[in-house]
Amino acid sequence: MAYGFYFDSTRCTGCRTCEMACKDYHDLSTEAAFRRVFDYEGGEFVENADGTVTATTYAYHLSEACNHCESPKCFAACPTGAIEKDEDGIVYIKEDVCTGTGACVDACPFGVPILVKEKNKAVKCDMCRDRIAEGKRPICVEACPLRALEWGDLDELKKAHPDAVHAIAPMADPSITNPSVIINACPAAKEVGDTTGAVANEKEVTFA
């Protein structure tokens, strides 16, 4: 059994409540966010011969935390064995073993682990393991006012959402790590590897 997330991009309005609830619950500084909301935008306005304008512009949001991948690259890269994947599929960092080499930060194709200067350690989403142990859901899922996030057994999530895809832009190719995430793609959503759009809030979602 492996836990996973379901994200409904037809519902998400990009309000950041998931991100803020996570930051509040995990008491994160301005240097880190375990869940980030990407604004993906693109397209153009084309002026036609008759003076009218045709718009191909689009914008949508992607709320992404750690994907708790089936084959996590962070786990493979860590020299100290500080990253573990437990029997529930949760990928987490053992702080007492982490030396802060940043190997996981370099290796993760989703830019999930963050090196925090205050602690000199890498940190990332642990799917709220402590809450799950108490029988609760991750705080981001509980917080979403649009009910755009679900969490549970990945196989059951897949059964409940048969049309969901494994990734949308700007995520990395899911075949690299097999993320434990499925997504309901909104009509505007672009496929992985798309080059027509760009992340409009790059500074907000980048921690270096």
Partner 1 sequence: MFDGGFSATSLAVFTALAPAGAVAFACLAAFLLVNRSQSRDWRDVLAHLLFIPLAIAWAGFIASATHLGTPANALHAINGLGRSPLSNEVVSAVAFLFFAGMAWMYSYREKPKASVMNGLLAISIVCVIVMLFHTSFAYSIATVPTWDTWLTPANLCATALLSGPALATTVLQAARVRAGKWPYALLLIAVAALAAGTVLLVCHMNFLGTVGNNVTLASALVPNYGWLIAAHAALAICGLAFQLHGLRLATSRTRGPVFSVIGCAVVIIAALLARFPFYDAYLSVGF
Q: Does 203 bind partner 1 (CB under 8 A)?
A: no
Please give the single-letter amino acid code of residue 10: T
Q: Which stretch binds partner 1 (CB under 8 A): 6-14, 19-27, 73-81, 137-145?
A: 73-81
Q: Which of residues 6-45 bind partner 1 (CB under 8 A)?
A: 38
Q: Does 171 bind partner 1 (CB under 8 A)?
A: yes
Which of 10, 41, 100, 137 is close enough to bind partner 1 by CB under 8 A? 100
Any residues with CB less than 8 A from the CB of 91 and at least 6 apart, and which? Answer: 66, 68, 69, 72, 74, 75, 83, 84, 85, 124, 126
Which of 29, 56, 99, 178 is close enough to bind partner 1 by CB under 8 A? 99
Q: Does 207 bind partner 1 (CB under 8 A)?
A: no
The DSSP letter of residue 55 is E
Give me the least distance between CB of 97 and partner 1, in Å please: 5
Q: Does 191 bind partner 1 (CB under 8 A)?
A: no
Sign of CA dihedral 183, 33, 57, 176: negative
Q: How far is residue 11 from each of residues 27, 69, 184, measured CA to CA in Å?
A: 27, 24, 9
Q: Does 120 bind partner 1 (CB under 8 A)?
A: yes
Tokens for 201, please give them: 């809030």
Could you tell me if 193 and 167 are in contact, meaning their C-beta atoms sit under 8 angstroms apart? no
Sign of CA dihedral 108, 112, 113, 117: positive
Q: Which stretch binds partner 1 (CB under 8 A): 130-138, 142-150, 180-188, 200-208?
A: 200-208
d(CA 85, CA 25): 22
Which of 45, 48, 52, 79 is close enough to bind partner 1 by CB under 8 A? 79
Which of 22, 103, 114, 128 is close enough to bind partner 1 by CB under 8 A? 103
Residues lying near partner 1 in the complex (CB under 8 A) are found at 38, 73, 76-82, 96-103, 106-111, 115, 117, 119-122, 169-173, 176, 193-195, 198-199, 202, 205, 208
